[in-house]
Amino acid sequence: MTDRLDLPRETGPRLRPQYDPETFGRMAERFARFLGTARFLVYMTVFVTLWLGWNVLGPRGWRFDPYPFIFLTLMLSLQASYAAPLILLAQNRQDDRDRIQNELDRAAAERNQAEVEYLTREIAGLRLALGEVATRDYIRSEFQRLQDELQES
């Protein structure tokens, strides 16, 4: 083992599980996207209906969650306790993407504004330069005036 000063020392075995935050974030986004669909609502409705039906109408010995349906409440609470942070994680990732996109859009708008201002100055310069250029009608009128002067003298 080399003693590198640019790396921290390893103090022992890690007890925390290792995971890839990007992969976990993508999974959270897929889960949050699924929770916001009609398909999820239909699945949950069918699941709860079957659960209630089995525990109310099923054979007496096979009922595992009697009337107050405490186990069902626990299952739904557990699902909600995992769904809320995953949805927040997905929203935070979307906010980060939106912030980056807004910064890129702002930079593009500033470049476009600078280009428009440059083109405006160029057009104004061309108009001024054209004001100093003799037009065909001006030259024709000057020739006509000179021709009239020569004929008079």
Distance CA 128, CA 36 (A): 61
How many domains is the chain partitioned into structurally? Answer: 1
Nearest Cα neighbor of 52 from 29, 70, 39, 31 is 70
Arithmetic mean of pLDDT, 106-128: 94
Arithmetic mean of pLDDT, 115-120: 96
Arithmetic mean of pLDDT, 84-109: 94
pLDDT at 81: 93
Q: What is the 3-state secondary structure (H, E, C) of the chain?
A: CCCCCCCCCCCCCCCCCCCCHHHHHHHHHHHHHHHCCHHHHHHHHHHHHHHHHHHHHCCHHHCCCCCCCHHHHHHHHHHHHHHHHHHHHHHHHHHHHHHHHHHHHHHHHHHHHHHHHHHHHHHHHHHHHHHHCCCHHHHHHHHHHHHHHHHHC
Would you say residue 16 lies in a domain? Answer: no
How high does pLDDT run on average in the chain? 89
pLDDT in tens, 8-51: 777 767 777 888 888 888 998 998 899 888 999 999 999 999 99
Distance CA 36, CA 58 (A): 32
pLDDT at 2: 60
Banded pLDDT at 4 (limits 50, 70, 90): confident
pLDDT at 102: 97
Would you say residue 138 lies in a domain? Answer: yes
Would you say residue 5 lies in a domain? Answer: no
Would you say residue 11 lies in a domain? Answer: no
Tell me the residue range of the domain where 103 lies: 21-152
Distance CA 86, CA 92 (A): 10
Would you say residue 71 lies in a domain? Answer: yes
Would you say residue 40 lies in a domain? Answer: yes
Is pLDDT above 60 for 1? no
